[in-house]
C-alpha cells in the first residue's frame, strides 16, 4: 500500500466575495488556454450561463471547467504535453454557501480572490473559513489592480489579518492545521478583465506587468498539491453535483478519489440510507473547456460525469462491488431562513394559460429541487397544499421562487421567517455579522436603522477618504426587508454584506415597517378617478385600469396602519362631462416591485402571489371580517 501523486493534474476552486471578479478571471483562463474563443468582454462571460445569473450579475451555481495548460511552468512539473486543471467557479454570496461547500469537496486547493480596493468582505471570511476547515492550501490573488481607487498594500495587510484570525480559530477545532504554513501563502496580482497577472506588485491603479496569466498558472502548479491516491485501495468516487441531458437523463458529476472508473463497468452504488445497489455506468463523460466529451475511463483526481443511475443523489458514492467503501456524506450548514410556498389561492388563480397550479405539480418541483440543491430543506405544514422551504438566506429562496415562476408555476409565497431552535430550554435565533461601507454622512441613519432591528455595533473605522466601515451583530430576521431601506437611507451609495454568526437568545420583537398598506376592499378595475383622489394617502403598486381583488395590497399607506380603500370607484355621469373622461395627467406612476422587493415589503399578515405574468402582494386572509377577527385575537393574546 503506497500513496501516489498525479503530477499532471490539479483541482482548484476559485472563491471570493460577490463581484470581486471570479467568473471574469475564469473566463480569461479559458481563453488564454484556447478552451473558448472571445475577447474577454464582460458581456461575454461564459461561466455564468443561467438567465438569472446573467440578469443579476452573480454566480448562483458552482460550475466546473477544465483547461489544459502547456506553458513554460507545465514542462517543469509534468512529463505530459499539458497539465489538466479542473477549475471550480463558486458563488460569492453566503446564501449559496452550500454550493461553496460542495465545490470545496472536489478540490485540493483554493484561489482566494480579493478586490484591490474593497479588500476582504464578509463572504471572503465565509469562504476562507470553509477552505481552512477543509485544510486546503490558499493562493491569494489581488484582483482589479487597475482600479483607480486600488489600495493594494492595505488589502494584502487586511487579508493577512483575516487569515491569521481565522486560522487561529480553526486551529482550535483542528489542531493538525499548521497556522504558520497557512500564513506563508503566495500572492499574485491580477486584472481578470485585462487577462494579466504578475508576482510583482504593480503600482496602485496600474496593470500587472505580465501581458498574460502565466504567473497565475505557474503559482497554481507550484502551490496546489497534485491529487494523491492509494494504489492498493478500491474504487471510491464521490457524487458532488447533478445535471441532466436530454439524451442521457440524469448525470452525476463526481470526483474519483481512488481506483479507476470505466465505461460499462458494474459498480456498487452506496446510497445515503446505507443500502448498496449494483449499477452499470452506461456513459462516462470528461470535461474539456465547457463541453463534455465521451471518455473510456477516469482515474484518481479526475472530475467526470456518469449516466445510467436515475435516482443518484449528491453525497453518495460509487465504489467497488466486492469490497464497497462509501465516502462520508457532504455536510453543509443548517438553514437560517424559511418561507412557505403553496398553490395560488387568490381569485385570479389559473388565468394564465398553461400555468402549473396544482399541489402535486408544486410538490414534485420542490422535491426535484432537493435533488440538486444541498442547501435547502422542504418540510410539510398543516395544509396539504403548502410547504415550508428552509434555506441559507432570503436571496437563495427568492431565486428558487423566481425560477419556478419562469417555469410556469403559480404560487403563494409567505413572508420570510427565521429558523429558531431551543438551547437548554431557551429560544435562540440565528445571528448575522454585518459589515457596512458607506459615506460617513450616513453613519447616523445607518446606526439608527440597525438599532431598530436589534443590531449592535462592534467596531467602526474611518479610512480618511470620506468612507467609514462599520461592523454590527444583528439578528438574521432583522435583515429581512433591510436592503431596500438601507439603499434608500444611503442614496444607493452604501455596501452591506453579512455572514452567519451562530445563534443567540431571542432579541425581542422587531418592527420591520413604519407604514401600513392600502388594501382593496372589493374586486373590480382600478380607475384613475379613484386613484387620483386616494394618492395623497400613499403610493400605489397597481396601474390604472388593472384588475384588483378584495384583500389585494394595492399601495403603501403613509401612516402606520392598514387602510381599506375603494380603488374601483367611478366618476358619476353628469351633464357636464362623461363618466369615461377620466384624466391620467394628475396620477403619480405606480411603484413596481421585483419578487425580492415584494417579499421584503410584505408584512406579517401578508403574502405574495406569484404567477408567470404578475407579482402581487395580498393579505393572507382576503375577507375583511376574518382579518378583523384575527387582529382582535392577536391583541388579546398580547394582552393589548
Annotated binding-site residues for GTP read: 19-24, 143-146
The secondary structure of 511-579 as a DSSP string is ---SSEEEEESS-EE--HHHHHHHGGGEEESS-TT-EE-TTBEEEEESSSS-EEE-TT--PPP-SSS-T
Around Cβ 130, how many Cβ atoms within 10 Å?
23
d(CA 503, CA 335): 12
Conformational region of residue 446, where left means phi above 0, alpha means psi within -120 to 50, and beta covers everything else: alpha
Task: Please choose, from the candidates 90, 83, 87, the residue with its C-alpha nearest in 3D space to the C-alpha of residue 58.
Answer: 90
**8 Å CB contact between 522 and 541:** no
Known binding-site residue numbers: 19-24, 143-146
- Cβ atoms of 373 and 314 within 8 Å: the answer is no
d(CA 475, CA 501): 9
Q: For the chain, how big is the Rg over CA atoms in Å?
A: 27
**Spacing of C-alpha 505 from chain mean position:** 27
| Contacts of residue 84, Cβ cutoff 8 Å, sequence gap at least 6 | 8, 9, 10, 66, 67, 68
- Decide: 93 and 131 in contact? Cβ < 8 Å: no
Say how far apart CA 40 and CA 623 lie, in whole Å.
56
Closest to 452 (Cα-Cα) out of 497, 513, 395, 516: 513
What cell numbers appear for 95 in the block? 446564501
Give the residue from 124, 145, 138 showing the smallest Cα distance to 189: 145
d(CA 32, CA 38): 10
Q: In this structure, are residues 415 and 601 in contact, taking their beta carbons and an 8 Å threshold?
A: no
Amino acid at each position: 500500500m503506497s500513496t501516489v501523486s498525479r503530477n499532471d493534474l490539479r483541482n482548484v476552486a476559485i472563491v471570493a466575495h460577490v463581484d470581486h471578479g471570479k467568473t471574469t478571471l475564469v473566463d480569461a483562463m479559458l481563453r488564454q488556454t484556447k478552451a473558448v474563443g472571445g475577447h474577454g468582454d464582460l458581456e461575454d462571460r461564459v461561466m455564468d450561463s443561467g438567465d438569472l445569473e446573467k440578469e443579476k450579475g452573480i454566480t448562483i451555481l458552482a460550475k466546473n471547467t477544465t483547461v489544459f495548460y502547456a506553458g513554460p511552468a507545465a514542462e517543469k512539473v509534468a512529463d505530459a504535453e499539458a497539465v489538466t486543471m479542473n477549475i471550480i467557479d463558486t458563488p460569492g454570496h453566503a446564501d449559496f454557501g452550500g454550493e461553496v461547500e460542495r465545490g470545496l469537496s472536489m478540490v485540493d486547493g483554493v484561489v482566494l480572490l480579493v478586490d484591490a480596493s474593497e479588500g476582504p468582505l464578509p463572504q471572503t471570511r465565509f469562504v476562507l473559513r470553509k477552505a481552512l476547515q477543509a485544510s486546503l492550501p490558499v493562493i491569494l490573488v489581488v484582483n482589479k489592480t487597475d482600479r483607480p481607487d486600488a489600495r493594494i498594500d492595505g488589502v494584502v495587510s487586511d487579508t493577512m489579518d483575516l487569515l491569521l484570525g481565522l486560522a487561529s480559530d480553526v486551529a482550535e477545532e483542528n489542531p493538525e492545521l499548521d497556522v504558520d504554513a497557512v500564513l506563508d501563502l503566495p500572492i499574485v496580482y491580477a486584472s481578470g478583465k485585462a487577462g494579466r497577472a504578475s508576482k510583482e506588485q504593480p503600482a496602485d491603479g496600474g496593470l500587472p506587468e505580465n501581458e498574460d496569466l502565466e504567473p497565475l498558472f505557474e503559482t497554481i502548479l507550484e502551490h496546489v498539491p497534485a491529487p494523491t491516491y492509494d494504489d492498493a485501495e478500491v474504487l471510491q468516487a464521490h457524487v458532488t453535483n447533478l445535471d441532466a441531458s436530454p439524451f442521457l437523463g440524469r448525470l452525476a458529476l463526481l470526483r474519483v478519489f481512488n481506483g479507476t472508473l470505466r465505461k460499462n463497468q458494474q459498480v456498487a452504488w452506496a446510497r445515503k440510507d446505507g443500502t448498496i445497489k449494483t449499477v452499470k455506468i452506461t456513459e462516462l463523460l470528461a470535461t474539456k473547456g465547457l463541453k463534455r466529451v465521451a471518455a473510456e475511463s477516469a482515474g484518481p483526481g479526475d472530475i467526470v460525469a456518469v449516466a445510467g443511475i436515475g435516482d443518484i443523489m449528491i453525497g453518495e458514492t460509487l465504489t467497488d462491488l466486492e469490497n464497497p467503501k462509501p465516502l462520508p456524506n457532504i455536510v453543509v450548514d443548517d438553514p437560517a431562513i424559511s418561507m412557505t410556498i403553496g398553490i395560488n389561492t387568490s381569485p385570479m388563480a389559473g388565468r394564465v394559460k398553461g400555468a402549473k397550479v396544482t399541489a402535486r405539480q408544486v410538490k414534485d418541483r420542490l422535491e426535484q429541487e432537493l435533488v440538486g440543491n444541498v442547501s435547502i430543506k422542504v418540510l410539510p405544514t398543516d395544509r396539504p397544499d403548502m410547504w415550508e422551504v428552509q434555506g441559507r438566506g432570503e436571496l437563495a429562496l427568492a431565486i428558487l421562487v423566481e425560477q419556478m415562476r419562469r417555469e410556469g408555476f403559480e404560487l403563494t409565497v409567505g413572508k420570510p421567517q427565521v429558523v429558531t431552535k431551543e438551547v437548554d430550554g431557551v429560544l435562540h435565533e440565528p445571528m448575522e455579522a454585518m459589515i457596512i461601507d458607506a459615506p460617513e454622512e450616513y453613519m447616523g441613519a445607518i446606526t439608527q436603522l440597525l438599532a431598530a432591528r436589534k443590531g449592535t455595533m462592534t467596531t467602526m473605522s474611518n479610512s480618511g477618504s470620506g468612507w467609514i466601515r462599520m461592523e454590527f451583530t444583528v439578528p438574521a430576521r432583522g435583515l429581512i426587508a433591510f436592503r431596500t431601506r438601507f439603499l434608500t437611507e444611503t442614496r444607493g451609495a452604501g455596501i452591506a454584506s453579512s455572514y452567519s454568526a451562530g445563534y443567540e437568545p431571542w432579541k425581542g420583537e422587531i418592527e420591520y415597517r413604519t407604514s401600513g398598506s392600502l388594501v382593496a376592499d372589493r374586486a373590480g378595475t382600478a380607475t384613475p378617478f379613484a386613484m387620483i383622489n386616494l394618492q395623497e394617502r400613499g403610493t400605489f403598486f397597481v396601474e390604472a385600469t388593472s384588475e384588483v381583488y378584495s384583500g389585494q395590497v394595492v399601495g403603501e399607506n403613509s401612516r402606520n396602519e392598514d387602510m381599506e380603500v375603494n380603488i374601483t370607484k367611478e366618476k358619476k355621469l353628469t351633464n357636464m362631462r362623461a363618466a369615461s373622461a377620466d384624466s391620467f395627467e394628475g396620477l403619480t406612476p405606480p411603484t413596481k416591485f421585483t419578487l425580492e422587493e415584494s417579499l421584503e415589503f410584505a408584512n406579517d399578515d401578508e403574502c405574495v402571489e406569484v404567477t408567470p405574468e404578475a407579482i402581487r402582494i395580498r393579505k393572507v386572509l382576503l375577507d375583511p371580517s376574518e382579518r378583523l377577527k384575527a387582529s382582535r385575537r392577536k391583541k388579546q393574546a398580547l394582552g393589548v
